Structure 1
């Protein structure tokens, strides 16, 4: 990135709140009574820091429940007054921003469907010029890190400094146990490139079911995320949207109370700790792997020369399939997942093709 962003750390947003920040509430505000009741139950657990509710709910298909609209903000404002908790809502356009701010909403978040559209994000950014707002940006639907960072940059250029990112997983074609595959490497890379940014995990949208929420919440904590956004409804099975992934306030409290919070760093007495020694081993292995990969590419170049001299195509599908299947079996026998082996080999194979392509096209 050309210019380093100045982002205010989450510890300064709400100093009285300890990690993790817990944002919870119904997927949708359905009625005033439903929203107030759910929020009061959540507040009573003592586990929730911020109340959330979907006010405008664009759905994939029309004729589904798409939210109650601005009237829901009045209900959320009342819930804030009754519980003393802060509030958060999703905004998708300039009208949403103005309405939310008018009703005293503390945190605005930009949804995945909006993050994918720079025009929409810019509209929201323009509406936030000169406003002391707290804004969370969900990852785009597809696994596009640059698009995610671009949305954050637009909000930052509007003068907003309290910016966080919400990881809600990524759309994936085909069957999966997740509603949206977590692909943890992407938020990890975002954090590497923007170390100050607050990272919030949205297990509800990653899982798409309530059974896996505790598992994914713990994984987020193990990766040092700053908080969680989990959907909660007083009667989840009767919810008008995303019923399967919502939990009761009591279950929400069980999940959050069961989290194991780990330290950022291992304590040291000045001498190398066990983890330092193991990291040195990892560094050595990584160095050896890179050396082996470099040697492998030299062989790939020689294969490219042979193919050029004998007028043979670079891609040999039958050979590639044999390598892939054989390596997956070997990898699994050594405790490596099929997904990892496939991703690794595809990357190595593509790099080999690139090297051979250069050789094949040298005059």
Structure 2
């Protein structure tokens, strides 16, 4: 079991199964259909479901644990389910669940994570931790640290995206830069992508799964149901075992390392990119010197730093040119916002006669 979470031991690690265990027949049949169409490394099912509204289906509870464990034995693979409190931990361990995961709504609460960690002291079991619902890298890392302090060493991260209000495409925006930053901080921690919760839409699963593989994520956890449209929870984001097999066959898996990375051709391209990066920062430095001149002018004439109408025209003009730049509007907006905030920082320093650099 431990080998599954060894970084680089197998790629992709594949975890699949229904969002929720609904009936024993549904769990077993879904598992058998998965076995028919693809090979998975772990079977998942939600036993307790943290729902937004109180009258929603909140899982079958403890009775579903035996369904999951028996289905895992039928497939010959480990099983995993979400735990949100010490009672869940106790019941899952007693039933023989092989791997636990901590959900996004729990990760956001350090008290809850600590209680789960304390209940696992002295227990040897792999644990996966989903990112918190809000984009807080330190909170995510803190959950791993709490588990490590009680002796849990076999850990993996699940990237399931971050909550937003009415996003036009995603149920939870991926914010790819956050799991990438997690990898920078914890390079030996496997990261498993959850395209089901990111997309909320089975038609987007392949797109997000492919991007996760292209970013060298270690695995995927995909919600799979014998009859997704009749699922008791998250129907739109689940797919049939047959379509899971089609998705996996469609994935292109690329190697992280290759002798070609050391070739003269790629070295030349990287050198050109480095030169352009140097020029970009030289231009930005010159841009901020002009911002300081602007700050001095505003100070002399007692004018506020922020000029909303000018900024509105400026950002609109840049966004209108996004296609011409061959850049996404989101990227242009992020770059302009960053430049604007740095410009404001320089102007504040000049206008308030502060030579001290701000953090």
> When the two structures are superposed, what TM-score results if normalisation uses the length of structure 2?
0.95
Is 2:298 aligned against 1:304? Answer: no
CA offset digits 1:98-136 (Å, max 9, x no partner) = 111112211111100001000000011111112111111
Structure 2 residue corresponding to 1:313, chosen from 288, 304, 311: 304
Matches within 5 A, 1:314-329: 314-329=305-320
* 1:32–1:267 CA distance, 2 compared to 1 (3 A): same
Cα distance in 1 for partners of 2:239, 2:264 equals: 41
Name the CA distance, whole Å, in 2 between partners of 1:11 and 1:108.
Answer: 13
For residue 331 of structure 1, what is the aligned residue in structure 2?
A: 322
Counterpart of 2:178 in structure 1 is 186
Secondary structure in 1 matching 2:118: helix
Of residues 306, 316, 331, the one that matches 1:340 is: 331
Q: In the aligned structure 2, how far is the partner of 1:51 from the partner of 1:66?
A: 20
Aligned to 2:357: none
**Aligned positions, number:** 353
Mapped partners of 1:277, 1:161: distance in 2: 41
What is the CA-CA distance between 1:173 and the residue it aligns to?
Answer: 2.1
1:82 Cα shift? Answer: 1.7
Q: If the length of structure 1 is used for normalisation, what is the TM-score?
A: 0.94
2:94 paired with 1:66: no
Q: Give 1:10 shift.
A: 5.1
1:29-178 matches, cutoff 5 A: 29-178=21-170
> Are 1:257 and 2:249 counterparts?
yes
1:12 aligns with 2:3: no
Partner secondary structure for residue 212 of structure 1: helix
Whether contact under 8 Å (1:214, 1:255) holds in the other structure is yes
SS in 1 for 2:220: strand
CA RMSD of aligned residues (A): 1.7
Question: Counterparts of 2:171 and 2:348 in 1: how far apart (Å)?
Answer: 39
- Structure 2 residues without counterparts, runs of 5 or longer: 355-359
**Deviation at 1:330?**
2.4
1:74 and 1:103 in contact (8 A); partners too: yes
Question: In structure 1, the residue corresponding to 2:100 is in which secondary structure?
Answer: strand
